[in-house]
Amino acid sequence: MTTANLNPQPIKGRQIPDRLKSPAERALRSWESLLFVVMVAIFVINSLASPYFLDPWNLSDASFNFTEKALVALALALVIISGEIDLSVAAIIAVSSTMMGTAMQFGAGPAELVLVGLATGLACGAINGWLVTGLGLPSIVVTIGTMSLFRGIAYIILGDKAYTNYPEGFAWFGQGYVWWVFSFELVLFAIMAVLFYILLHRTSFGRRVYAIGNNPTAAVFSGVRVARVKFILFLLTGLMSGIAAVCLTSRLGSTRPSIATGMELEIVTMVVLAGVNINGGSGSIPGIVLAAIIMGLVTFGFGLLNVPGIVMSIFIGLLLILVIGVPVIAGRISGRRKAAGGH
């Protein structure tokens, strides 16, 4: 036996970079770290652009620009991580609000209205889940169809009318404050963010969601009940849409069939901006929280500067294209460089 065999030299080029980095270094290189930097930059720019921005009550008002959408985004993130999508969330909000208004006409009080809103959202989520997991239909096709279905139900019931004069106690869910400048909606979002963080990042259910998104076939052979998990995710999305409907209806104090129109685009943009892979398999709840705050700050900043709403719509559309397109382009460039280096 030679000395070389007793003291083998390390093989170069076989190190795993991620394992060579410390947890702190990996955190600094994460997408969430970039979002945090962007959030701080937007906060500073807004504070310099308007003298009213740093007022605590104005910042509290800014939270209403994102809390209802962010509540839905928490659940939709899990659906997208699993490799599916739900484009009917805004329509679920509309039909849930309509059902609450209908219940109000029969004398329902605040508690009953909340139950009606949550039950309607849950039922809509069950319909989406059954069509996708029970019948095996593509989720994008199903939810485009139910988007029209749920919105159509709202228009059939209301027509060109509106439900108003909700009970006084019902207004607290969308306009009330838990303490000082902290609104009920903001506190609710914080609690839900913690619960969804635990669900996705600290439970076996969350690991199943990631496994399904990365390779559903392998997940099936690993004993994961893929259809059941996806059905639960659509239920959660419907439930969170129902909660958002309660908050939005309460804040506006009225229900129209056009309520929440276009909100699905902003919610999907929020999820993708958070770093959730649109093809499934990756994403995080901290990213959702940061993306929600960023979009809220941008919207509020535009409002303080009297920027027209159409400009915000253009911004949302461009942002969605950007956050989806840039990683794809960067991946192709990186692949070409590796291919060129291999030659």
Distance, in Å, from the CA atom of 113 to the CA atom of 106, rounded to the nearest integer, reads: 11
Task: Work out the pLDDT band at 1, boundaries 50, 70, 90.
Answer: very low
Q: For 272-315, write each residue's pLDDT tens digit.
A: 999 999 899 999 999 999 999 998 988 888 887 777 777 777 87
pLDDT over 60 (residue 9): no
Question: Domain 62-323 belongs to what topology?
Answer: ABC transporter involved in vitamin B12 uptake, BtuC (1.10.3470)
CB atoms under 10 Å from CB of 292, counted, come to 27
For residue 6, give both structure tokens: 């007793």
Q: For 41-65, write each residue's pLDDT tens digit.
A: 989 988 888 888 888 888 888 888 8
Q: For 218-277, write each residue's pLDDT tens digit.
A: 999 999 999 999 999 999 999 999 999 999 999 999 999 999 998 999 999 999 999 999
User: CB burial class (10 A; 0-12, 13-18, 19+) of residue 144?
Assistant: middle
pLDDT for res 2:
47
Q: For 96-105, what is the mean pLDDT? A: 96
Ranking 22-36, 180-194, 208-222 by mean pLDDT, the lowest is: 22-36
Average pLDDT of the residues of the chain: 88
What phi and psi, each to the nearest 5 degrees, are found at residue 142?
A: -60, -50
pLDDT over 80 (residue 16): no
- Alpha carbon separation from 258 to 5, 148, 269 (Å, rounded): 76, 12, 20
pLDDT over 90 (residue 25): no
pLDDT over 50 (residue 192): yes
Q: For 64-100, write each residue's pLDDT tens digit.
A: 889 999 999 999 999 999 999 999 999 999 999 999 9
Residue corresponding to tokens 């901006």: 273
Distance, in Å, from the CA atom of 308 to the CA atom of 209, rounded to the nearest integer, reads: 40
Task: Work out the pLDDT band at 325, boundaries 50, 70, 90.
Answer: confident
Highest mean pLDDT out of 265-274, 314-323, 328-337: 265-274
Say if CB 143 and CB 80 are below 8 A apart.
Answer: no
56-63 vs 285-304: helix axis angle to the nearest 10? 120
User: CB burial class (10 A; 0-12, 13-18, 19+) of residue 60?
Assistant: middle
* Nearby residues of 49 by Cβ (< 8 Å), 6 or more positions away: 301, 304, 305
pLDDT over 70 (residue 27): no
